[in-house]
Structures are given as C-alpha cells and as structure tokens.
C-alpha cells in the first residue's frame, strides 16, 4: 500500500462526516457509458503529449500512467495552481444548464399544422368579409373569436405537455454529490463537489456518493465495493480494484477500476483520481443522449396528421371548385355587382372550409384520453403524456428491465443447506425460505415443503442466525415515509440480517409469530439486536479478495467464538468439523461429506444460479482479543445459504397475458447471462428449456452480421450485459422493424431509452429523471400493471376510432349540404356560426360520450393492431361517405321542404328557389326578402343536429347491430344526446341566442318533418353493418383509394 498523505492522521475517517447524505428517491444515480473520455486541451499537452489518447481508456492504463498524465503526486494531490489551471481547461464539475425553448416558440409550434392554419385563415377572412359587408360589434367578431378560442385551448394543452419533457434534464442535477474529501497541497480537505477538477485525488468511503468519474489509485481497506445496480442491472454490489482492465470493447461491468459519478460506496475506503467532470462524466453522457433523443409522434397522431393533410387538400379542392363553378353567378343582380358576387361565393367557400374541418376533434380526443387516464390511475398506471394512452393499444414489444421490475431488487435468502448427521442416509438437507423483500416477513419450510414452526430450535439454523447477525456490517431499518424497509450497506449482508429475523429467537414457544406484535421500527432488527447484545464484538478481519471471507471475534459469558462467512470454496477448505442439525453434535468433516457439500454448492450456484455463502464458527482461547489470518483454520461448518434477487409473484401471469395478446416480452439486464436465464426459468412464462438463439449478451449481438442481427431481434427474449446505450440501440433497432416498443426503467441511465421508446414506462420507486422522461409511471412498480394498462389502452383506442369516424361522417354531411346547395344555386342553407355550433357542441358532446363505450370482452385476445392501420379504412370510408351523403342531402331536403311544401312557408316553385338571385328582375307573388327568412335555415340546422344524434347511436359499435348492443349500454351517450337537444332548444327558443345563431323557433309540424328526415340514418347504417359482418363487406375494396391513407385490410370488431 502506498504511503499516506501528511496530515491524514487527523482525518481517520473523514468521509463519514460529509458523505452520509441520502440520495433523492433512495435511488442510486445511474450513468450512461459512451466512453470514458478526458479531452485534454492543447495547453495541458505539455505535461504529457500522449495524455489525450491515454485518458480515453483510463480503465485500461496503469495507476502510474494515469497519474503521470495529469502530473500529480498521489501523496500530495494537486497544488492550488494546478487546480485553477485545470478548472480553466475542463470547466466546473456541474452539468451545464441547457437553454430551454422560449415560451413564444412553444406557442407558435402548436399552430404548425395544416388544418390549424386553414382555420386561422378562415377566421381572418371571415372577419375581413364581415367588415366589408358593414357588420360591426359582436356579429363581426363572433365566428373568428370562437375559432381562435378553440385553437388557443388546443395550444395550451400542447405547451403544458412539452414543458413537462424538459424537467427531466433539470432533475439530473439532483443526483450530483454535494461534497468530496479531496487531497490538495498534501492535506485532506472537504470541498464542494463542484470544485473538483481532473487530476484531483479524492478519498471515498462507506455511504459516500462518488462525486465524479474517477480511476482507482489506492486501496485504504481490504476491499472497496460500490453499488451500481441501476447502472448495470447487477443485483449485487461490485468489487473495485487497482489493476487495469484488459478487456476489449469493455462495458461498465468490465471497468472494475472506475468509480462512476453518482454511484454509492457500500464497503471499504479508497482513493481515486478524477478523470471526468461535468458533461464529461457518465452522467453528462446521459444528458447528451436525452438532448439527442427527440419525441416520437404516437401512431394515432401520425394517422390524424396524415388524415388532416389529406382532408386539407380535399377542402382546398372543394372550396376552389365551389367558387369556380359559381363564377357565372357573380354578376347576378342580387349581389350588386361582380365583386360583391365574388365575395358572396367566397364566403360560401369559407363556410365550406369551416364545415369540413372537425374543430372539436382535438378537444374530444384529449377529453377521451383524459377519461382513460383516470381509469388507468385507479389501476396504478399513472399516465404523464395523454397521447401515449392509445400507443399502448398497438404495443408489440415490451422491453422490460430485470432488476426491480421483474424482480424485487432486494436480495433474499431462498435456500439453506445444512448437514443432518453423517449417520443419516441423506447427509444434507435443504430449507426453503419465503419472502422476496427486505421486510422481516417470511417462513422457513423443510425439504418436504412443511413449514418449520420453530426454526431457532434447530442447531444449524440457530447458529446460521447468530453468524448472519454478528458477522455483518450492514443495517436494516424501517422507513416510515416510504412505508418499507431500507438497507444501508451490502445487499447480501442485509439479506443475511433478514434471514436472522425470519429464524427468530430460541427459548420462546411463540417465536417467531410473537415478533409480529412489535412495531415495524422495532421489528426491523429485533433479533439482530438481540444477538449483538448477547455477544460483544472484539475483533474483525475484513473481507479480502485473496481470502474471499471475513471473520469476527465475539465474546459471551467468558467464551470467545469466531464467526466466519465467505465464498463456499474458501470456507469449506478451511473447515475440519461440521455442526449436525439433528442433534447439535460436532463431528469431523470427512471426504464424503466434503464432496457432498461441494456438490450441493455447485448445484445451488450452477443450476439454480444462486449467490452462495458458507457460514462457519470456531471456539477461540479464553481472553483472546485479536484475530489473525492464521486463526481462520480448523473451522466448524454451519451451513450454506443461497440468495437471489427474487422474481415478483405476479410476473408469470402478466407475461402469459402479453403473449396471448400478441405482445413479445424481451428481458433487458446488465446481469450476466446465466443469472438472467435462470430468472426466466423461475418465472416459467417463456416456456423455453434452451435459450440458444434467443438469449444474447450485448457483445455477442454487436458481433453478429447485420442480417443475423435482424433475425436475432425477431426471436430475442433475453438481452444481457447491457449498458444504457445498448438499451437505446435495442429500441431503435426494433422500431426499424416497425415494432411499437414499450421500454421499462427506473434509473437515470434508462432516461434516453425511455424517451426514445414509443412508450416509456418508469417505476414509481424510480428516479425523478426516469419519471420525467417517461410517458407512464407504474405506481406499484408491478410489471402486471403494464398488462392492465395495455388492455385499457386498446379499449380507449377502439372508442377513439368510433368518435373520430362519427365526427368525420358528420363533417362529410355538412360539406355535402353546402356543396350541393352551391351547385344547385340555392341560398345559404347554413351560415358559418351555425356550422361551428354543430361541430363544437352538438357533435362534441356525443363524441366524448362514445369514449365510454364498454370494451370488448376479448380485447386482450386480439393481436396488436398494425402501426400503419388507418383510423378510417377502405370499407369504412365508403360507409361514412354514404352516411355523410345522406346527412347532407337530408339537410338540403329540409331546407327545400320549408320553401316548397311547408304550410308556414311561401310554397315556391322549385325553379324559383334555385334561381333566387334573379328574384329582383322578375315579377313574383312573394317578396324577395323571403330568401332571408330564418325558418328554412333553422329546419336545416335542426335536421343536421337530430340526424347526428341518431348517427351517434350507430357508433356504439363499429359492426354490431343496435339490437345486439342497445342504446342503454352507454348511458353517458344517452345523457349527452339529451343534453345536446336541450342546448339546441335553448338557441332556438331563447331570444338573444336565436339572433346570434340566425335561428327561430320551430312548430310541431316542422319538428315532425325533422324526425322523418333524420331517423332513416339508423336504417341505412344497419344495412351497411350487415354487409360489414358479411364476408363480402370485409373484402370490399376500392381501386381509387389512397394507399398511404387507407390500409389494405380492416380489423373488424368481433
């Protein structure tokens, strides 16, 4: 060991004072390794001309080479002058603040949509034309004001969503260390972590958060272990060493001499040299990766955007056509000149644009998704991004973290192996331990599966409990804020403490059930504290890599006993006796027993992939106060314990549900291959005996040729030894194969992949950064909740399709009405304000209520929909053209009926109606002002409203008849229809509103005609649904349809 720095005697354990802060969310910072680089500038090259290249792989260089590259003495550290110079070169150890998008740019971005632009132009044109016609006051501003209010509301939702995404970058800062113990000018001092510079020598110890990326240079204890589970996915802490790493294409797990910024030291003390600060750390790489990852549009948004573009072109074409067709009417005397005639028909074209655009669609989609998120929140799936709800419906692949998602991320003892008696037929016996968390709750079962009532009455179990409690440097405590048990220290040692609690104490018939009467705070370590009070710890031999064991000397009632624990091969080789579980006798360890123990160890560690520890004890001479390595001989073997990070109980059924729903699950982990494969066997859902061709490490996958990588992705169920960059790469590769990918994660390192995935799913116990980068958060960290959310997402999407089709068919009807009236030369049937009312209120309420349609019972038995499946398919497009055409024609017929047949009307000849513009040049029996009467327009508007209420009932199901799914199956829809009709009555019969909307009260005879014209829409759609259920309807195809808008095949409701 290298010489200690002068003055260090006053800092016997300086780390313990400043470094015991608790990380946010009780999570360890995680890092993204895009290469551990140290970009030395030209001014620093005078120190060492090769420093720039050598520091790119600091983990592969010796301690001496790294120290020389920075010109630093490991016993003195940097001088103040060197620190200042390095600060100028490399900057401060902080993540630079990224400039956020200006608020005004966020607002403008929301209006960058073709349909929105058309609406804005329509509002401006409407206002200008109103002024040209001499209109003032409310009449001139009403229509443009309503349009702009709608657009403002939609923009507000978009701005809120985008500002949430930027929070993830800010929350990275919370994971930086606050202080560091630094060696400068030969003295240790505590400095703000932001003052660190490359070349600084930093001392770290138990509980310390690593303040920067650092290369180990000196070990101050027998070992140094760092918990970097969220970074690598490894269930256990990692032992760090001084030796350089020789592995090519080294991943995080291979860089055993690097301390990554933000990880936590759980055992030992050491010194390391800073090789990366600020953006040049692994944490900085995460930030860069998040900045490079753009937000992906959801499948529904893409289809709505495509449909919007198509609709905009159709609208433009129809508007121009209406205006061109009527050029001959520009000079009609009723208009008062060519220019005024052109303006009149231009107003009709604007009205047509307003009619064709479903203004209420964004609001209804948002409302339906919001209602879905409330239901999902009750199922522990908290949605952060509304559009992500429907993405769940077409998810085809779920890439799931192993550690913490499929497993509890809490090391637990699951097996105990002890020697019964050498005289017994079966030399060894096994116990199974239940419980999958750090909670001291669980039972012990014997080899026959029978619960052991009093475990502490068995000699081996009792002494295993003693050894677990005493040969242990960790702490288990209850956290009342989180309502769970937290660990401090090594996870394997905490697992042993929990085992001691499950075994209980001897001498009490009510053990261990009596322990449940204690408070959770007292219960956390009650049995451990009992043994610690019974035995006084005298001396400790720390764990070392060469011995692979640790020992503690304890004194009790003038007896000195040494307890040891460590790797089974090390402990068993030092044992000469065994403790028998049957009668508590101690007998010699024979060759046969040794072979049997080694066989059981290899079975537990190999086939079951458990992490195994052996426990032993030794009586020491009375009065002994110290331990030496020589004392670790002639031990008495107590037993073997096997531990693992256990799978969650619900995971098996959840994965089976995914498979039946056509969703593939890929387990992604940084753990080694055999451990991950063993977990999959334990879960039992994958039904695979052999994982060949389905399980790859990141290195194996990268070495495959491009074609084989493509094939491997299609069969993969396991992806192991991964770094954060591999997760993002996996998401991108799957997306290139047109898969819709959901990625789960809980650490900072998962943020780029969560953001890149079609739907990122963070754990409720995860880091704030992961939550901010995700679309959905699982409040209970349960993989099974994803399956429930997928089912809800599919139901929401089906309902979303229904109301989108409903609104589109309604708008087709409005377009047909205005277009036909213009072509026939009739007066305006509907004015723009009336169209806006219909689109927003009378269409919007039923459309929202359609979102409450009950999901199909087999929603999770169907395969995921194709990502390119259009909202409106070929046959449906035809269906809604037919429905829309009827809606438009019924509206026109209602208008004509009032002029030609109504007893309250003028009973004009049809010729006079279509030549109304020449009225002033002809002798008539009626005044020309009759064409300005509000009755015919009111009849048309009411027909349009009522026919759409009947059409809403058609949308209870895409293909099922109203006889199969009756109207009362969705009471919300019935209520919305009643409310819509009440609102329509208000504008008809309340004086100020009737003037604003250019309507007038209707008589009972007129209402009867409205009903006669409206009801047939149900009969027409029932006939179309019948053909849809018929195979001919399903195969119906259009030669003229747009392939990019309408997919080749329709997915019908069962």
Mean pLDDT per segment of 10 residues, for the chain of length 1054 residues?
35 34 33 31 34 61 90 91 89 70 71 70 72 60 68 66 48 59 90 90 88 91 81 73 82 85 86 88 69 60 71 76 76 70 75 66 67 76 73 86 80 94 81 90 92 92 96 89 82 93 78 74 91 93 86 92 95 95 92 92 85 95 91 95 86 86 88 82 73 87 90 91 84 90 81 86 74 80 81 79 78 82 81 75 78 71 74 75 90 91 84 77 77 86 92 82 83 91 90 82 91 93 83 42 34 34
Q: Which two tokens stand for residue 965?
A: 């799914």
Quick: pLDDT tens for 57-69: 788 889 999 999 8
> pLDDT tens, 433-476?
998 889 998 999 999 999 998 899 999 999 999 999 999 988 99
End-to-end CA, the chain: 74
- Whether residue 493 contacts residue 611, with contact meaning beta carbons closer than 8 Å, is answered with no
Helices (H) and strands (E) in the chain, counts: 37, 29
- How many angstroms separate the CA atoms of 425 and 1049, rounded? 68
Considering only CA atoms, which of 900, 934, 875 is closest in space to residue 1053?
875
Locate 610 and state its tokens. 């458990």
All residues at 6 or more sequence positions from 792 whose CB lies less than 8 Å from its CB, including other chains: 372, 375, 376, 379, 381, 389, 392, 855
Burial (0-12, 13-18, 19+ Cβ within 10 Å), 758: buried
Structure confidence at residue 49 (pLDDT): 34
Report the SS3 class of residue 911: helix
User: Burial level of 689, CB count in 10 A (0-12/13-18/19+)?
Assistant: exposed
What is the pLDDT at residue 362? 65
Residue 512 and residue 46: Cα distance in Å, rounded?
A: 69
Which 3 state secondary structure label does DSSP give 923?
Answer: coil
Residue 432's H or E segment, with its range, is: strand 428-433
Residues 524 and 484: beta-carbon distance below 8 Å? no
Per-position DSSP letters for 188-228, written without gaps between them:
EEEEEGGG--TT-EEEE-TTPBP-SEEEEEEESSS-EEEE-
Measured CA to CA, the distance from residue 648 to residue 646 in angstroms comes to 7
How many residues are present in the chain?
A: 1054
Handedness of CA 810, 816, 822, 826 (dihedral sign): negative
Q: How far apart (Å, rounded) are the C-alpha atoms in residues 402 and 808?
A: 44
| Opening angle at CA 545, ends 539 and 551, nearest 5 | 20
Pairing of strands 776-778, 759-763: parallel
What kind and span of H or E run contains 346? helix 338-356
User: H or E element: which one contains 617?
Assistant: strand 611-620
Read off the pTM. 0.63
Interacting residues of 824 by C-beta distance below 8 A, sequence separation 6+: 892, 914
**Catalytic residue list:** 401
Q: Nearest to residue 643, comparing CAs of 1050, 922, 933, 236? A: 236
pLDDT value for 299? 64
How far apart (Å, rounded) are the C-alpha atoms in residues 276 and 278?
Answer: 7
β-strand 397-401 against 381-383: which pairing, if any? unpaired
Beta strands in 730-775 (DSSP E): 741-745, 759-763
Supply 71's token pair: 């010109």
Decide: 759 and 391 in contact? Cβ < 8 Å: yes
Point out which residues pair with 77 in neighbouring strands.
Answer: 73
Give kind and range of the element (H or E) at residue 941: helix 934-954
Q: Are β-strands 718-720 and 741-745 bridged in parallel, bridged antiparallel, or unpaired?
A: unpaired
Contacts of 806 (CB under 8 A, 6+ apart): 843, 846, 847, 850, 951, 952, 954, 955
d(CA 40, CA 71): 13
Q: Pairing mode, if any, of strands 586-588 and 664-668? A: unpaired
């Amino acid at each position: 060991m290298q010489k200690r720095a002068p003055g260090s005697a006053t800092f016997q354990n300086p780390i313990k004072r400043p470094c015991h802060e608790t990380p946010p969310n009780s999570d360890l910072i995680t890092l993204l390794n895009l290469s551990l680089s140290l970009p030395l500038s030209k001014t620093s090259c005078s120190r060492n001309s090769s420093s720039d290249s050598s520091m790119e792989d600091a983990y592969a260089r010796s301690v001496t080479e790294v120290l020389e590259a920075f010109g630093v003495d490991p016993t003195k550290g940097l001088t103040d002058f060197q620190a200042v110079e390095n600060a100028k070169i490399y900057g401060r150890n902080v993540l630079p603040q990224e400039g956020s998008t200006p608020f005004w740019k966020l607002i403008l971005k929301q209006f960058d949509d073709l349909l929105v632009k058309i609406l804005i132009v329509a509002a401006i044109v409407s206002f200008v034309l109103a002024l040209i016609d001499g209109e003032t006051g409310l009449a001139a501003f009403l229509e443009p004001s309503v349009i702009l209010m709608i657009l403002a509301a939609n923009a507000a939702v978009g701005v809120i969503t985008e500002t949430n995404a930027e929070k993830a970058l800010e929350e990275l800062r919370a994971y930086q260390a606050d202080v560091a113990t630094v060696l400068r000018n030969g003295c240790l001092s505590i400095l703000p972590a932001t003052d660190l510079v490359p070349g600084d020598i930093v001392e770290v110890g138990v509980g310390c958060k690593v303040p920067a990326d650092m290369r180990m240079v000196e070990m101050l204890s027998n070992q140094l272990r760092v918990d970097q589970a969220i970074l690598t996915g490894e269930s256990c802490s990692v032992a760090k060493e001084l030796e350089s790493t020789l592995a090519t294409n080294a991943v995080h797990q291979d860089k055993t001499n690097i301390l990554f910024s933000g990880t936590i030291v759980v055992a030992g003390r050491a010194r390391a040299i800073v090789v990366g600060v600020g953006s040049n750390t692994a944490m900085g790489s995460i930030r860069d990766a998040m900045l490079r990852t753009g937000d992906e549009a959801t499948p529904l948004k893409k289809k709505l955007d495509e449909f919007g573009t198509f609709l905009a072109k159709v609208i433009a074409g129809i508007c121009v056509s209406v205006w061109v067709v009527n050029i001959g009417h520009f000079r009609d005397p009723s208009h008062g000149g060519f220019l005024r005639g052109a303006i009149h028909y231009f107003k009709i074209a604007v009205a047509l644009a307003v009619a064709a655009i479903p203004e209420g669609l964004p609001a209804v989609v948002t409302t339906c998704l919001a209602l879905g998120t409330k239901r999902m929140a009750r199922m522990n799936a908290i949605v952060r991004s509304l559009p992500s709800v429907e993405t769940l419906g077409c998810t085809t692949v779920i890439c799931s973290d192993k550690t913490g998602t499929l497993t509890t991320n809490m090391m637990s003892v699951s097996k105990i192996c002890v020697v019964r008696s050498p005289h017994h037929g079966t030399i060894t016996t096994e116990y199974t331990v239940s419980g999958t968390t750090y909670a001291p709750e669980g039972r012990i079962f014997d080899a026959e599966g029978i619960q052991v009532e009093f475990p502490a009455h068995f000699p081996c179990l009792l002494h295993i409990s003693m050894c677990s409690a005493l040969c242990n440097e960790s702490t288990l405590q209850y956290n009342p804020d989180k309502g769970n048990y937290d660990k401090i220290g090594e996870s394997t040692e905490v697992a042993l403490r929990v085992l001691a609690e499950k075994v209980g104490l001897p001498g009490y018939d009510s053990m261990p059930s009596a322990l449940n009467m204690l408070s959770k705070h007292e219960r956390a370590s009650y049995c451990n504290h009992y043994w610690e009070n019974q035995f006084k710890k005298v001396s400790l031999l720390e764990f070392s890599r060469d011995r692979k064991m640790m020992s503690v000397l304890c004194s009790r009632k003038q007896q000195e006993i040494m307890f040891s624990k460590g790797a089974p091969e090390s402990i068993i080789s030092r044992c000469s006796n065994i403790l028998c579980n049957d009668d508590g006798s101690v007998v010699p360890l024979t060759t046969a027993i040794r072979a049997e123990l080694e066989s059981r160890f290899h079975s537990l560690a190999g086939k079951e992939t458990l992490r195994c520890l052996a426990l032993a004890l030794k009586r020491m001479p009375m009065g002994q106060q110290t331990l030496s390595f020589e004392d670790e001989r002639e031990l008495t073997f107590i037993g073997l314990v096997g531990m693992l990070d256990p799978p969650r109980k619900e995971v098996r059924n959840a994965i089976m549900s995914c498979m039946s729903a056509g969703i593939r699950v890929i387990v992604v982990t940084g753990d080694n291959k055999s451990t991950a494969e063993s977990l999959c066997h334990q879960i039992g859902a994958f039904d695979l005996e052999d994982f060949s061709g389905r399980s790859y490490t990141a290195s194996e996958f990268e070495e495959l040729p491009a074609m084989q990588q493509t094939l491997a992705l299609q069969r993969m169920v396991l992806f192991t030894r991964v770094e954060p960059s591999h997760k993002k790469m996996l998401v991108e590769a799957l997306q290139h194969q047109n898969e819709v990918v959901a990625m789960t994660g809980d650490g900072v390192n998962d943020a780029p992949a969560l953001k890149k995935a079609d739907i990122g799913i963070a754990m409720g116990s995860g880091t704030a950064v992961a939550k901010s980068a995700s679309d959905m958060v699982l409040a209970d960290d349960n993989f099974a909740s994803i399956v429930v959310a997928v089912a809800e997402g599919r139901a929401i999407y089906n309902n979303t399709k229904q109301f989108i089709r409903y609104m589109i068919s309604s708008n087709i009807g409005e377009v047909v009405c205005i277009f036909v009236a213009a072509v026939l030369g009739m007066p305006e049937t509907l004015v723009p304000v009336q169209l806006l009312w219909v689109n927003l209120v009378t269409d919007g309420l039923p459309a929202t209520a359609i979102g409450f349609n009950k999901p199909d019972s087999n929603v999770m038995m169907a395969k995921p929909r194709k990502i390119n499946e259009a909202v409106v398919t070929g046959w449906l497009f035809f269906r809604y053209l037919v429905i829309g055409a009827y809606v438009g024609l019924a509206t026109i017929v209602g208008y004509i009926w009032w002029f030609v047949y109504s007893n309250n009307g003028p009973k004009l000849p049809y010729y006079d109606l279509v030549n109304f513009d020449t009225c002033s040049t002809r002798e008539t029996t009626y005044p020309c002002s009759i064409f300005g009467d509000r009755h015919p327009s009111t009849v048309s508007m009411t027909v349009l409203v009522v026919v759409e209420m009947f059409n809403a009932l058609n949308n209870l199901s895409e293909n099922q008849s109203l006889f199969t799914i009756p109207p009362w199956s969705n009471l919300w829809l019935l209520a919305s229809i009643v409310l819509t009709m009440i609102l329509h009555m208000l504008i008809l019969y309340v004086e100020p509103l009737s003037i604003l909307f250019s309507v007038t009260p209707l008589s009972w005879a007129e209402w009867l005609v409205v009903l006669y014209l409206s009801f047939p829409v149900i009969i027409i759609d029932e006939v179309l649904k019948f053909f849809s259920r018929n195979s001919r309807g399903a195969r119906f195809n259009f030669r003229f349809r747009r392939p990019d808008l309408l997919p080749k095949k329709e997915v019908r409701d069962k």
